[in-house]
Structure formats: C-alpha cells, structure tokens
Amino acid sequence: MSSVWERVRETRRRIEMATARAGRAPGSVKLVAVTKNVDLPAMEEALRAGVAAIGESRVQEARAKRQVIGDRVEWHMIGPLQLNKAKYCPGLFTVVHSVDREDLARELDRRARDHGVWQCCLLQVNVGRESQKGGCAPEKAEELLRALAGFDRLRMAGLMTVPPFDEDPERARPFYRELAALRDELNRKGAGREPLAELSMGMSNDFEVAVEEGATLVRVGSAIFGPRPGPLTEDKET
C-alpha cells in the first residue's frame, strides 16, 4: 500500500487536474486533510508532504493534537459543534466550518471577543435535507446569514455542505452545484456583511466533482490516511 506521503501528493495532483479541467486558476483549492482518528505519526508524515490545513471533527481531539503539533498548520473544525464546546474554538481553529444556528454563532462571537480574536466561520447548509445531518435548510440560509451579520467578531467567509453519501461521485454533483448557486445568490442579495468567497465541499470519494463545481476547500480523510474505523459519514456532536 502506498504511503501517506504518496497519497497526499496524489490527492494534490488530482485536485490540480480538476482545477485545470474546470478552467480555474492553479492553487485556488485548499486541501484540508481530515485527521479524525488519525495518529500523530501519520499526521506528521502528511505535514512533511506539504499539508497546510488539518480538519478535525472533535474539539477534544483537536486540542490534544494541537498541543503536540502546534500552529505550523491551520486547524479547521469540520464536525457538528455543541454549544458548550464553542468556548474552545476561538484561538484553536482558524476556520469553523459547521456554524448552522444562531445560538452557536452568538456563543462563538462572545468567546472570540473574550479571546481578542476574530473567528472565521462557514455557514453549513444541509442541501441534501437529511434529518440526521447538521446544517441549516437552504431556504433558511439568507435569514440566518443576515442575523449572523450582527455578530461582529465572526467573519462569515462562505458555505459548507456534506451531501448524502453515494458511491458514485456524480450523484454529489447536483448538491455541490446547488451550494455554489446559493452562495452566488446570497452574494447578489448582499445577505452577509462581506461577500462569501469560500465553498467547503468535497470528500475522499467526490472531491474532483466538487472542485469542478467551484470548491475552494476540500476535506479529504480516508483517501490520504486509509479507511477509518467507525461511521464514515458524520460524527455525533462533540
């Protein structure tokens, strides 16, 4: 089996190929290597291969790993977030991808102010309308974003989604296209304080499709680190 180093290289190559196919500028997609349940030696190997952003879905795991790895990389929170864990986020995570409700945003805003930082966030949208998944309903995104514009310590930088799982990456394409269209519509309406630039979409089995549809951040775990024990879709709240 190939090494983590080789798989990082291969993933980056595939991202750049898809970027070129879509007629997008080279380097316009950031690889977020998802390291939930991944041990420190494998993470170090990924960093040596050039990974610059780490995605974690549990606050405790991210805090423990950051103690060792430090801030040589960006730390991204990609999993569902409980209100009582929001206090740990500002100062720990560069980007929180999973903001999907006002009470969570309010708490992140308050904690960011206490910490003296501005928290970059993405609005998670449940484009697949799956009841078990996080994210606001697409038709609620505008109202929520307008409400969040009042939290001046949050920088809402874009949208994120996790589509319904399917072996066939083409089945994810309509969901990614919908997220990109929603981002453009929200920008046209001026719903956020600043324009939404980012689209966090695409995982191991469909990141090339996501890049073709405009992803700026892809979250890739098992294609780099191998299969994970446990559920492959979405974690319980941390």
Ligand X SMILES: *Cc1c(COP(=O)(O)O)cnc(C)c1O
Binding-site ranges for ligand X (CB under 6 A): 34, 36, 57, 78-79, 162, 203-204, 219-223, 232, 234-235
The nearest distance, CB 152 to ligand X, in angstroms, is 27
Per-residue b or e along 127-139, where b marks 16 or more CB atoms closer than 10 Å to that residue's CB? bbeeeebbbbebe
Q: What is the dihedral of CA 144, 105, 103, 65, to 10 degrees?
A: 140
The nearest distance, CB 223 to ligand X, in angstroms, is 6
Strands (E), 143-197: 154-160
The nearest distance, CB 204 to ligand X, in angstroms, is 3
Q: Judged by CB, which is closer to ligand X: 34, or 95?
A: 34
Q: Judged by CB, which is closer to ligand X: 191, or 211?
A: 211
Q: Judged by CB, which is closer to ligand X: 109, or 206?
A: 206
**Partners of 124 in the beta sheet?**
160
The dihedral region occupied by 130, where left means phi > 0, alpha psi between -120 and 50, and beta the remainder, is beta
115, two tokens: 């910490």
Residue 12 gets which letter from DSSP? H
The nearest distance, CB 231 to ligand X, in angstroms, is 9
Phi, psi of 213, rounded to the nearest 5 degrees: -95, 5
186, two tokens: 């929200």
The nearest distance, CB 108 to ligand X, in angstroms, is 18
The nearest distance, CB 93 to ligand X, in angstroms, is 14
The dihedral region occupied by 165, where left means phi > 0, alpha psi between -120 and 50, and beta the remainder, is beta
Measured CA to CA, the distance from residue 193 to residue 146 in angstroms comes to 8
Q: Judged by CB, which is closer to ligand X: 9, or 113?
A: 9
Q: Judged by CB, which is closer to ligand X: 187, or 222?
A: 222
Measured CA to CA, the distance from residue 179 to residue 176 in angstroms comes to 5
CA dist list (Å): 8 to 17, 28, 94, 121: 14, 17, 21, 25
In the bound state, the residue with its beta carbon closest to ligand X is 221
Q: Judged by CB, which is closer to ligand X: 104, or 203?
A: 203
